[in-house]
Structures are given as C-alpha cells and as structure tokens.
Amino acid sequence: MGGNAGGGEIGGTGTGGSASGVAAARVSDFLDTLGVCTHISQGVDDPKQVANALTYLGIGHIRDDGSTNAATLRKFIDLHNSAGTTVALLPINGDVAASIAEWQTLASAGALLAAEGPNEPNNWPVTYHGQTSSSTTSLPIAQFQRDLYAAVKANSQLAGLAVFHSSEAGGSEPDNVGLQFLTIPAGAGTSMPDGTTYADFANTHNYVCGHQNRLIDNVAWQATDSTLNGDWDGMFVEYHHTWWGAGFDGYSLSELPSIPKVSTETGWTTSGSGSITEEQQGRLFLNLYLSGFKHDWAYTFIYMLHDDPIQGYWGLVDPSYQPKLSGLYLHNLTTILTDTGGGTLGRLDYTIPDQPPTVHDLLLQKSNGTFELVVWDERAPGGTDVFTVNLGSTFTSVRVYDPTVGTSAVNTLSHVSSVSLTLSDHPNIIEI
C-alpha cells in the first residue's frame, strides 16, 4: 500500500479524492527541494549560462563556495534577479565576521537560501582562534560552527535564516566534540558543553555512487534512508554512530528520520573510474530527487551542474552547458509537474498490491486539485517489474507520463480504476 507522502498536509479531499487514503504533498514543495552545486566563486561557472541552465532544468537553488569578493557576490545577486535562484553559501574559513558579511550582502537582495558551515573539514581543515583542526582534534571546527550559528541568530537581518551544519564534520571527528548533534543534549558526554547549538539542519554528502560505485537495487532509496548503514556517508555514520576510528554515539535510530536534514552533495560521474552511462545517470537522478523528498530531506543538491575537465563529469549539463540526458529528463519531470503552489490538499485511496521492494510511490497534488502520483522503480540493470496501481475509485481521465520519453502523455485512459505499469529504473507519473 502506498505510504504517506513526504511533507503532506491534510486539507480536504481534493479533485476526485477520498476522505481516507494517502495524504498528498504539494507539487511545489517537492520542486522546492531540488538543488545543484555550482562553482561560480571558483570562476569555473559562467553565471549567465548557469541562469539559462537552471531555468531549463527547473532548479531553484544552488550551493557554492563563500567569497569576500564583491564582484563574485554580485554574480549571485544577478543570478537571483534573472532566474529567481537562491544560494546556500559556504562560510569564510575561520572568520565569523566575514561570513556574516557575505551572507548579509546576499540576504539583503533576497538571494540567500541558507548559511552553511565548513565544507568537509576532514579534507579542508578549519583554523580558528589560532588552532587548526587535525586528525587528533575537531575542536576548532566545533568552536567555529558554534560561534557561526550564534552570530547568525543574533543578527537581525539573518536571524530567520536556516543554518546548515558542517558537512562530514560529525562523522569524521577524532575527539568527541559533539558535532554529531544539532544541539548537544544533556548527558551526551561530549567535550563541548551540553546545550551547545551548531545548526538547524544536519548536512551530509551521501553520494549515491557510494564507495564501491555499484548500481544495485534501491541505490537511491537506500542512500536517502536515514536509518541504514551502507556504502554511503549518510545520516547513520554522521549523526548516529560516527565513522572515524571507533566512533561516537549521536542520535538514536528512532530519532534519525525526523532530524531536519539536507544533502549538500550527492551524485555520480559519467566519465572516468567508477562512472555510469549518461542514460543511467539521467534515470538515477530522477529517483534520487524523489527518494530524497520521500525520506524528508529538505533539500537535495546534486554535485554538480556543469561538466568540467578539471572538476569532473558529474553534471546535468555538458561543458558547453547543453543538457545531458540527466538534464533533459529532469527538465521533462519539472515541466510535467510545473505548478504555482497553493491550493487545498487532499487524499487518494490508492494501493499497489504486492508492491515489489524496489517500487516506490509519492502522491503529489497541484494547486488546481490534480493528483500527480509518481511511481518509480530502482532495479539494478537488467531488472523489470510489472505491477498494477489501484486508484481506489473510477476516474474519468487518467494520463501516464514518462519523463525519459518527453513531456506529453505516453498513455491516456478513460473511466479506469487501475493502471498497469512496467518499470525498471525510473519514474512514471500517473496524472489523475
């Protein structure tokens, strides 16, 4: 049976809906979780090309490096003005005042999505108050993140801003400074005091390729499941029991799914060691965004927007900013689902009898009341599932879309109470 849609609210029965069944989530809420990493601050990405690409893809949020350069910050503002994009911006290493200043500049223009803590300090150490983090201590990271959070919340212009935790910092801490928490709870036994607050959102780099670069059943679904300890750096090893050395305990397994969280890097390259084909990447990225939303990730940022010979071929668009298949398929998905938001949410009494373990579902609803039931399969290469979706009652008009084919319906049905699907590794959308 279909599970509760992530983030859904109950607000009526909707068009053709039911007083019981699965609660729908807003289409616009799903679309708002889509993000991608850019390298504007590094000078790799061209802002005008980025704006065109984001508009085509239907992505509203980017993540990028922090900068004290006024011209660079102006590029983010211009991008916001031209494409409506907001940015999750990294801090200035070890400098709270400079970090606040860059965020104020963007916030004043409406271009800032969130303030983020240090990026992978296990790879790029943090120096704060004359001490540098190392393989023996994460104390400078903890002190900087604590002070960064406090400075944001004390600033009248930034107080309502979301603060993302430092990525990888919890899992990689060699000493127990409590970075595996958003706020250190009483009795946690960490060297930083109980009650120390670091962030509003947990922050992982749960690369869906994992460490072994294997396409397996449910690869995106598992990488976004907070409770699983698998081949990726997810919530389990960052916030439940950390991965460095013997590790330190954090949140309980039962707490993990409800911890506010973001994925600021995830993806899979299409060139070089461990790569997959562009076709596989295109289908996988659709599943990844959907699985992230169903598992209650506030944002999922794919690494990265743009293929580059130096940075790698992880992108949704190629070196000339033309869409790869992953970009085309995402464009098709966001075009099919495009909506202005708002409206009354309802429920649909649908079921998937004998639902295969690799088949997942997400009920969305547009502002006009139309249900968009997204059903996707995550079979490893060569697998296929044939199944039926029972809609709960008879509907006058039902359309089926396949974003790997295009933006027009691949099947139009009249006066039906069920839809038969054959899927392998990507979603179909049943529009009711």
pTM of the model: 0.95
CA angle 215, 29, 237 (to 5 degrees): 45
User: What is the token pair recorded at 337?
Assistant: 């689902």
What's the half-sphere exposure (Cβ side, CA atoms, 13 Å) at 109? 20
Answer for the pair 36, 64: CB distance below 8 angstroms, yes or no: no
How high is the pLDDT of residue 17? Answer: 52
pLDDT (average), residues 26-38: 98
Cis check: omega of the bond before 304, within 30 degrees of 0: yes
In angstroms, how far is CA 127 from the centroid of its own chain? 29
Q: What is the pLDDT of residue 5?
A: 33
Q: Is the pLDDT of residue 106 over 60?
A: yes
Order of strands, edge to edge, in the sheet holding 202-204? 162-164, 112-116, 86-89, 61-64, 34-37, 299-302, 261-266, 202-204
374-426: per-residue pLDDT in tens?
999 999 999 999 999 999 999 999 999 999 999 999 999 999 999 999 999 99
Task: Domains for the chain: give ranges and CATH numbers.
Answer: 28-337 (3.20.20.80), 347-431 (2.60.40.1180)
Q: How far apart are CA 203 and CA 65, in angstroms?
A: 15
Q: Classify the phi-psi angles of 58: left when phi > 0, otherwise alpha if psi is within -120 to 50, otherwise beta.
A: left
Question: How many degrees, rounded to 5, is the angle at CA 163 between CA 94 and CA 138?
Answer: 40
What mean pLDDT comes out for the span 366-380?
97
Q: Residues 28, 382: contact at Cβ < 8 Å?
A: no
User: Strand 112-116 to strand 162-164: parallel, antiparallel, or no bridges (unpaired)?
Assistant: parallel
Average pLDDT of the segment spanning 296-305: 98
One-letter amino acid identity for 296? D
Residue 13: what pLDDT?
Answer: 30
**Which among 326, 300, 299, 301 is positioned nearest to 313, based on CA atoms?**
326
- Residues 76-88 have a mean pLDDT of 98
* 9 pLDDT above the threshold of 50: no
Say what angle helices 70-83 and 47-57 make with each other, to 10 degrees. Answer: 30
What pLDDT band is residue 6 in, cutting at 50, 70 and 90? very low
Which candidate, 381, 283, 277, 387, places its Cα nearest to that of 332?
283
Whole-number percent of the chain with pLDDT over 90: 94
Provide CB contacts within 8 A for 151, sequence distance 6+: 96, 97, 99, 100
Question: Rounded CA gap, 103 and 90, in Å?
Answer: 9
- Is the per-residue pLDDT at 1 higher than 70? no
Residue 108 exposure: Cα atoms within 13 Å on the Cβ side = 9
Look at residue 145 and give its three-state secondary structure. Answer: helix
In this prediction, residue 19 carries a pLDDT of: 62
Return d(Cα 413, Cα 405) in angstroms, integer: 18
Distance of alpha carbon 236 from alpha carbon 376, whole angstroms: 25
Average pLDDT of the chain to the nearest whole number: 95
Burial label, 382 (beta-carbon count in 10 A; 0-12, 13-18, 19+)? exposed
Phi, psi of 264 (to 5 degrees): -95, -5
Measure the CA angle with vertex 93, ends 36 and 239; round to 5°: 60
Instruction: Write out pLDDT tens, residues 166-185.
Output: 999 999 999 999 999 999 99
Q: What is the CA radius of gyration of the chain?
A: 22
Six-digit token string for 272:
């070089």
pLDDT of 18 above 90: no
pLDDT at 341: 87
CB 139 within 8 A of CB 169: no
Token representation of residue 402 = 């396949």
Which among 410, 387, 388, 406 has a CA at the least distance from the CA of 398?
410
Query: Long-range contacts: 122-131, Cβ < 8 Å, 24+?
Result: 122/168, 122/169, 122/172, 122/244, 123/168, 124/93, 126/93, 126/94, 127/93, 127/94, 128/94
Residue 5 token pair:
């849609």
Strand, helix or coil at 355?
A: coil
- Mean pLDDT in residue range 75-82: 98
Residue range 234-263: mean pLDDT, rounded: 98
Nearest to 110 by CA among 81, 88, 89: 81
10 or 384: which carries more pLDDT confidence? 384
Q: Write down the pLDDT at residue 15.
A: 39
pLDDT given for residue 11 in this prediction: 28
